[in-house]
Structure formats: C-alpha cells, structure tokens
Amino acid sequence: MDTITLLQPDDWHAHLRDGLALQRTVPDLAKQFARAICMPNLVPPVKTVDEALAYRQRILAHVPENIQFDPRMVLYFTDQTSPEEVSKIKASAFVDAIKLYPAGATTNSDNGVSDIRKVYAVIEQLEEQQVPLLLHGEVTHSHIDIFDREKRYLDEVLAPLLRQFPKLKLVLEHITTSEAAHFVLEHDRNVAATITPQHLLFNRNDMLVGGIKPHFYCLPILKRQTHQQTLLEVATSGNPKFFLGTDSAPHSKNAKENACGCAGCYSAPTAIELYAQAFDQVGKIERLEGFASQFGADFYGLPRNTNHITLVKDTQVIPESLSYLDGEQIIPLYAGQTIPWRKV
C-alpha cells in the first residue's frame, strides 16, 4: 500500500511546555493532530481547572491560521489535590483528566504524588464520576533497576489500586514492557494505554550500542527488543485499549547533550509518519486509523474527527535540528535520517 487516508489523528499524550517554547511546539503538533492531551508538568504545575483553562488560552494563541486545533487539558495530581476538583473536571468542556506522576519519576515531577494511598479520597471520586486517571507507571526508589521500574509499579501500585477501585477509568501512559501490555489486556475496557513512536521503532540497543545516544533517552527508558516486539503486536492488533500518545517532549540540544542529559524525545513534527513506518514494517498499515484516530476519542468519550489526512509512501529527510527558544536547537527523533512516509 503506497497511499493511506485516515481520519485526522489525535495525540493523547504531548508536552508543549509554556512561554517561548509554545512558538515551536504548538505549530508542530497542530499541523499533525486535531486534538492533543496537553501534559500539566509545567513549572509551576497546572493544578486546578482554572489554571488549565488559562494554559489552554496560551496554547491557542500560537495555533497557526487556518488550522483547527483543540488542546485537551489535564490537571497535575498532587498530595494536596482536593476531591472537589474532580467535579470541576467533570463539568469542564476542555479538561478531560488528571495526571499522576510519582514524585521524582520524570521531568518536572517533583510535585507529584508521594504515596498513592494518600490520595485515595480523590481516586474514589475519579472512579465515581468516571474521570480518567492518567498514570506515569514507574516506581522511583533509587535501589530499583531503571529497566524494572514499570513492572514493579504494576505489581506494587497498580494492581492493588485496581483491586480497590475496579471501575476506575485509567490510562497507563507510554507503556514500554510486555508486562504492561499484558496487564492492560487482562483488565476491562476501563483500562487503556498509550504507546509512543520511539518505543515502537527503537529498543535499548539503539540507545546504547556503539556509544550512548542521548536523543533516544526518555522515561520510561527504552527496553529490550522483546518488549518492543510486544508493543508492536498490541499497537497493530486493532484492540481499542491501545492508542496513540507521542509523549513528544521538547528539550534543547544543550540540555540533552551533557553529563546529565534530560529525558524526552521530540517527535511532534513527523509523528504520524513515524507511526505509519512502524505499522508498515509489520504489515499492518491498514490498522493505523483505529490506533491513531478512533480508539483514543472513544475512550475519552469525545466525537471522532471528521476531517481526513493522506499519507503517501514517499521518502522525506528529517531535519538535523529545529530552532527552539532564543537561539537554541532541538534535535528531533530520526534527525538527519530518511523516513519512508510523508503526510500530504
């Protein structure tokens, strides 16, 4: 298949940052996706519906003319989040969920939940009102191997949580392991997962063999090829519990290429083409539309998009770098390399 037409896709997990960064990130994302779940881990974090709506207006100010883009907002879950805030989310036209970062798990997560048992009163309201809980599913204890942190989270935190709240509507974000994929498969339709392009296209060998490649460093970290293969299988299976979430995250070249480089891959400008590449590599390109354009909207209870996009099998070269902030650069995923699909 050399051409495929899809309902316009959505990104159910993206980082846009704030301030000057929006000049780069919003146009890149809006040219690819009709809607995006905009992560709340700003500095300071987006903790209330009022703050989320103000952030949404800052995002909308950078949407290019003649492009329709609907930022979907999320609150940052802290130890101090009030159960009453859940009702405000439920009543909002633009805020869809709450995001739980275990404290210290990833970029700007220091204000995250320190112990999930402390916030059971809020989670009880999430379950009752069917407001989605989005989870960065890793434990953060320093003695636990970084490649095991997702699995340990499933066993030690998530399984007990779902026993306590079996009807909780939950998205396990950016899954990276076979164990996470099987965990989602074993639960009811109220449990879903997003998968990134980097975890479909790469594994830890790509990051580590022949020297450390800092632009492949993200959290959760790339895993073994066997895990990558399982992610490809579930993403391309047509199962509506798995849908698109890029986790695209802008970091300047200087912040990535140093002795303590930060975590995140920037895929926004060509994300749908990268997903097409992954699906095509396993002969399942015809299943891309469900994963990219239907299942996420269905899970969130939003209407599917009505506009369409077309992808053609025609090579394009990813730029070596992109301008960012004031004179800095971002190195995008696949920088300088040729990819086989192009959005027209």
Span 116-171, pLDDT tens digits? 889 999 999 999 999 999 999 999 888 999 999 999 999 999 999 999 999 999 99
CA distance 63 to 114: 36
Q: How far is CA 211 from CA 197, 207, 208, 214, in A?
A: 22, 8, 6, 9
pLDDT at 111 over 80: no
pLDDT at 40 over 80: yes
CA distance 68 to 271: 18
Q: What is the mean pLDDT of the chain?
A: 96
Count Cα neighbours of 140 within 13 Å in the Cβ-side half-sphere. Answer: 16
Question: Among 7-16, 134-143, 228-237, 283-292, whose mean pLDDT is lowest?
Answer: 134-143
Q: Is 287 annotated as a binding residue?
A: no
Q: Is 60 annotated as a binding residue?
A: no
Identify the pLDDT of residue 107: 65
**What is the band of 334 on the pLDDT scale with cuts at 50, 70, 90?**
very high
Q: Is 53 annotated as a binding residue?
A: no
Identify the pLDDT of residue 80: 94
Q: Is 15 annotated as a binding residue?
A: yes
For the chain, the structural domain boundaries read 10-304
Q: Is 13 annotated as a binding residue?
A: yes
Identify the pLDDT of residue 140: 86
pLDDT at 104 over 80: no
Q: Is 224 annotated as a binding residue?
A: no
**What is the band of 105 on the pLDDT scale with cuts at 50, 70, 90?**
low
Reported as a single tens digit per residue, the pLDDT across 263-289 is 999 999 999 999 999 999 999 999 999
Fold of 10-304: TIM Barrel (3.20.20)
Q: Is 313 annotated as a binding residue?
A: no
Identify the pLDDT of residue 87: 97
Query: Does the annotation count 206 as an active-site position?
Result: no
pLDDT at 110 over 70: no
Secondary structure (H, E, C), the chain: CCEEEEECCCEEEECCCCHHHHHHHHHHHHCCCCEEEECCCCCCCCCCHHHHHHHHHHHHCCCCCCCCCEEEEEEECCCCCCCHHHHHHHHCCCEEEEEECECCCCCCCCCCECCHHHHHHHHHHHHHHCCCEEECCCCCCCCCCHHHHHHHHHHHHHHHHHHHCCCCCEEECCCCCHHHHHHHHHCCCCEEEEECHHHHHCCHHHHHCCCCCHHHCCCCCCCCHHHHHHHHHHHCCCCCCEEECCCECCCCHHHHCCCCCCCCCCCHHHHHHHHHHHHHHCCCHHHHHHHHHHHHHHHHCCCCCCCEEEEECCCEECCCCEEECCCEEECCCCCCCEECCEEC
Among 59, 56, 64, CA closest to 27: 64
CB atoms under 10 Å from CB of 64, counted, come to 10
Q: Is 274 annotated as a binding residue?
A: no
- Joined tokens for residue 251: 């970091």
pLDDT at 115 over 90: no
Catalytic residue from among 11, 96, 247, 280: 247
Are 252 and 321 contacting, i.e. CB atoms less than 8 angstroms apart?
no
Reported as a single tens digit per residue, the pLDDT across 180-223 is 999 999 999 999 999 999 999 999 999 999 999 999 999 999 99
- What is the rounded average pLDDT of the residues 301-328? 97
Reported as a single tens digit per residue, the pLDDT across 157-179 is 999 999 999 999 999 999 999 99
Identify the pLDDT of residue 1: 81
